[in-house]
Structure 1
Amino acid sequence: MSGYRNSYETRCAAQIGPEYAYEPVKLTYTLECSYLPDFVDVANKRIIEAKGLFDTADRRKILAVKAQHPDYSIEIWFQKPDMKISKGSKTTYSAWCDKHGIAWKQGPLR
């Protein structure tokens, strides 16, 4: 495939002039979003997030909030901390938090 990712890119490259380099730069971008934490100790800047499902979007959001608001501490209370982050993964919700330095605990069972 001549260094392209797939046959379609190879066909496109055949019609694009030589003045175009293939993937020569990486451009960063930022998405501006907002986060509404579940429970906040405003005076002490502590957040408790209650989670049943902890999907990819939630994990990305928590990492972004942690990086951009280091003055807040975040703790996640999981309904099932031993759930896997995806079907094929061996990583649990709790292990993901441990890896990223995020406090967590088993939330109330009933």
Structure 2
Amino acid sequence: MAFRSGLEERIADLLVELGVKYEYESTKVPYVIQHNYTPDFILPNGVWLEAKGYWDSKDRKKIKSVIQQNPDIDLRMVFQAPFNTISKKSKTTYAQWCDKLGIKWTSFATIPIDWLL
């Protein structure tokens, strides 16, 4: 059996020597690391606006997690350029990414007035 470190191997050897049966890395346990999200704008009507110029993978994952774990929040994206692609290797735009996840979005130039009032 291949272990990840010399210490793990020594522990396994000790367990064998003592006749202790064991399983090695046989179980996966999901966990979530707690983070805090600070929205850019919270409006009196309950709408949260998140403004983005460049939107990297880390920030997309954060927004996705916030929305999935807080479904009552009305978070909407305001992009400087919603038709930029999420990476150089992707054809998916910021707008398409939001559409796929059901996130409302707009460009700064065309923010619907009913979002703000």
Which TM-score band applies after superposition, normalised by the shorter structure? Answer: 0.7 to 0.9
SS in structure 1 of the partner of residue 75 of structure 2: strand
Q: How many pairs align?
A: 97
User: How far is the alpha carbon of 1:101 from its aligned partner?
Assistant: 0.4
Distance 2:27 2:105 in 1: 38
| Counterparts in 2 of 1:89 and 1:77: CA distance versus 1, 3 Å | same
Amino acid at match of 2:55: F
Bigger Cα Rg:
2
Distance 1:88 1:24 in 2: 36
| Residue identity (%) | 40
What's the RMSD between the two structures over aligned residues?
Answer: 2.3
Q: Is the helix fraction higher in 1 or 2? A: 2
User: How far is the alpha carbon of 1:81 from its aligned partner?
Assistant: 0.6
Q: Is the 8 A contact 1:40 1:46 kept in 2?
A: yes
TM-score norm. by structure 2 comes to: 0.70
1:39 is matched with which residue: 28, 31, 41? 41
Q: Is the 8 A contact 1:45 1:71 kept in 2?
A: no
Unaligned runs of 5+ in 2: 17-21, 111-117
Amino acid at match of 1:108: A
TM-score norm. by structure 1 comes to: 0.74
2:81 matched residue in structure 1 = 80
